[in-house]
Amino acid sequence: MTDEQLRYPIGKFKAPVSYTNEDIRHWITTIKLFPGKLRQAIIGLNEKQLDTTYRTGGWSLRKVVHHVADSHMNSLMRFKWALTEENPTIKPYEEADWALLADYKMPVEASLKMLEGIHQHWVALLESFTENEWNRTFVHPASGEIIQLKKSLAIYAWHCKHHLAHITETIKNF
């Protein structure tokens, strides 16, 4: 595999041209099932395997698990801000710097538990949305882009599959 294929095993995110109710239901299901699929993917891995990187210069599988917990925690907050404030500017974070912190060396169980709780809250919100709520927005200050919640849902459904593929593709080499 090329470095690009290792970096983006399912391809880069492509925003849909339109958002159907079927797409939205599918993406919510992806969000709902992700914590279980992630747990299932890593359940039998030993410490050495968890510390294997998915590509040269990439994160270890352990760091990927911790990253998705942090990323999805931030996403849940962004959804809540967009639901309770008018077009808020969200706070970005430095993913690479967070991955250098001590908690990224911990066993993965704490992040798996975080993901389970975060996703339960997130799905409860998502399943309650009206059309107006899907059209609510937030501003990403790094790009200045105004992002609708339905687009953010599509991004994070992709994000689940993207990082799960990092893990499952790496495991094939064990």
Rounded to an integer, what distance in angstroms lies between the CA atom of residue 114 and that of residue 120? 10
Count H helices, E strands: the chain? 8, 2
Indicate whether 1 pLDDT > 90. no
Please indicate, yes or no, whether the overall pTM of this predicted structure exceeds 0.95. yes
Indicate whether 140 pLDDT > 90. yes
Residue 29 confidence (pLDDT): 98
pLDDT digits (tens, 9 = 90+) for 146-163: 999 999 999 999 999 999
pLDDT digits (tens, 9 = 90+) for 110-130: 999 999 999 999 999 999 999
